């Protein structure tokens, strides 16, 4: 396996397409709200997440809104992307970054690829912050992160006790979901499933997120002894 850093220019189209396919495959794991594949809105949220990551990749090399991408390639099939890590350097804080998304192909998991990607990032930015699901906390603890709080339905983690004092320029996912193309996709889903089923899907989703928030809050309170 080889790891390649992209920070001055993005990867080639084939590599980008492979990353976006990974994003689509791991939509539930990567989204903050962990929308289940059974929800009628899943395809819309999956599309929006792919658009968001693609927008970040297209920002690579723009110093006014820095983005860095690490790609892990197969050691035999040298052009096959087997994992990626996308993160944002903190403005005016040269040692800090915020992790956005990471995924490793299912067939390549448990080989240390995720840890290698994170280690490469931490060599560049020792102060890193991220959010993750409760189920992934132990993994991130194994590479030096600690639980520091909550962020919506996820656990907030950091490699330092004090939060970084700086800014990362996030893409507003709400603007993607509010775009004309997103509205068109939602109309198509309503035509396919019916408005009643879509209203039910919204209710299911809201209950799902509320349950995640409660579970996360209870976990962090217990972990921090509060």
**What pTM was computed for the model?**
0.95
Specify the DSSP element, H or E, that contains 16. helix 13-25
pLDDT tens-place string over residues 162-211: 888 888 889 998 899 999 999 999 999 999 999 899 999 999 999 999 99
Beta-carbon contacts of 54 under 8 Å, excluding residues fewer than 6 positions away, are 16, 20
Q: For residue 22, give both structure tokens.
A: 């990974």
| Residue 173 structural domain | 2-224
CA torsion through residues 207, 209, 212, 213, sign:
negative
Spatial distance between the Cα atoms of 96 and 168, rounded to a whole number of angstroms: 10
How many domains does the structure of the chain reveal? 1
pLDDT tens-place string over residues 3-54: 999 999 999 999 999 999 999 999 999 999 999 999 999 999 999 999 999 9
CATH number of the domain where residue 173 is located = 3.40.630.30
């Amino acid at each position: 396996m080889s790891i390649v850093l992209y920070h001055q220019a993005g990867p080639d189209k084939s590599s980008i397409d492979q990353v976006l396919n990974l994003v689509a495959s791991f939509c539930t794991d990567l989204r903050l709200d962990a929308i289940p594949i059974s929800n009628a809105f899943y395809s819309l949220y999956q599309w929006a997440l792919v658009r968001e990551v693609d927008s970040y990749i297209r920002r690579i090399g723009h110093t006014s809104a820095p983005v860095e991408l690490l790609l892990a390639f197969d050691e035999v099939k040298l052009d096959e992307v087997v994992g990626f890590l996308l993160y944002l350097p903190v403005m005016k804080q040269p040692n800090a970054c915020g992790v956005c998304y990471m995924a490793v192909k299912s067939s390549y998991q448990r080989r240390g690829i995720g840890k290698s990607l994170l280690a490469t990032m931490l060599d560049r930015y020792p102060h890193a912050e991220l959010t993750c699901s409760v189920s992934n906390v132990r993994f991130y603890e194994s590479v030096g992160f600690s639980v520091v709080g909550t962020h919506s339905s996820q656990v907030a983690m950091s490699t330092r006790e004090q939060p970084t004092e700086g800014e990362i320029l996030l893409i507003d996912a709400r603007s993607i979901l509010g775009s004309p193309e997103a509205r068109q996709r939602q109309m198509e889903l309503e035509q396919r499933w019916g408005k009643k089923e879509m209203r039910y899907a919204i209710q299911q989703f809201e209950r799902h997120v509320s349950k995640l928030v409660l579970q996360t809050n209870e976990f962090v309170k217990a972990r921090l002894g509060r």
